[in-house]
Amino acid sequence: MITVKRLSTALLAITLAVSLSACSSMSKREKHAAIGAGAGAVAGSVLTDGSTLGTLGGAAIGGLIGNQTGKK
């Protein structure tokens, strides 16, 4: 059991490092859109009790709002 826990922790750390390095070349507007989409997906999922449509709708709306706030 401990081996599985260590392996999953290492995998999570590697995934986090790779995902953070992927954002380094994004513009400010793209970063805002990605953050908005993530926050919108979480909010949509919570508000609709995990509905797929609610999650996707929240991500779409959040990404749109994040994209617009990232404008200069």
Higher pLDDT, 48 or 7: 48
3-state DSSP of the chain: CHHHHHHHHHHHHHHHHHHHHHCCCCCHHHHHHHHHHHHHHHHHHHHCCCCHHHHHHHHHHHHHHHHHHCCC
What is the pTM for the complete model shown? Answer: 0.67
User: Which residue range(s) make up the domain with 29?
Assistant: 2-69
Domain count, the chain: 1
Higher pLDDT, 72 or 53: 53
> What's the pLDDT tens digit per position in 40-65?
999 998 999 888 899 899 999 999 99
Q: Count CB neighbours of 43 within 10 A.
A: 16
Phi, psi at 18, each rounded to 5°:
-65, -40
pLDDT at 72 (0 to 100): 64
